[in-house]
Amino acid sequence: MPNVIVSDTSCLILFYKIGELDLLKKLFGKLHITETVQKEFNQSIPNWIEIVEPTTDVQKGLTSYLDKGEASAIALASELENSLLIIDEIKGRKAAKEMGISVTGSLGVLIAAKNRGHIQTVKPFIEKIQKTNFRISEELIERVLENVNES
């Protein structure tokens, strides 16, 4: 298990929309986000989410092709040893991986929650997600459900 969990905005918004923000607390205990991510989230932040600012200029280079929240989250994760970054956007995931950062997405969070016994099944969460504006391909849904033996 990574020492530090850093989240981009999309995961927070998604879990908030489906009424499952506390699942992140159950799974990780504490999350780290940047002030930019907090502003994009635009909701009050629970006390188990800590706002930490990157101290390097890494995000300046990233903002040329990523949005500010993603760039700041990647920059923060790059500074924190043994971190896991929760990020859904493909370009952001690719950039983070190229920098050697461990990444997962919102659906990866659901897989981990099931594997650790925090939820019984993933499918009802995916059904809730499908009622939001979060885009998720049928192929990805099938892969996730296969991964957790729910296909």
**How many structural domains does the chain have?**
1
Domain that holds residue 63: 4-147
What is the model's pTM?
0.94
pLDDT at position 94, please?
96
State the chain's maximal CA–CA distance in angstroms.
44
DSSP labels for 65-79? TS-HHHHHHHHHHHH
The CATH number that applies at residue 34 is: 3.40.50.1010
Task: List the beta strands (DSSP E) in 1-149.
Answer: 4-7, 31-33, 49-51, 83-86, 102-104
pLDDT at position 31, please?
97
pLDDT at position 73, please?
97
Q: How far apart are CA 90 and CA 30, in angstroms?
A: 24
63 contacts 81 by C-beta, under 8 angstroms: no
Q: How far apart are CA 118 and CA 67, in angstroms?
A: 32
Task: Tell me the torsion sign for CA atoms 38, 8, 62, 80.
Answer: positive
From first to last of its 151 residues, what are the pLDDT tens digits of the chain? Answer: 578 999 999 999 999 999 999 999 999 999 999 999 999 999 999 999 999 999 988 888 899 999 999 999 999 999 998 999 999 999 999 999 999 999 999 999 999 999 999 999 999 999 999 999 998 999 999 999 999 999 8
pLDDT at position 1, please?
59
Residue with tokens 């459900």: 145
pLDDT at position 2, please?
74
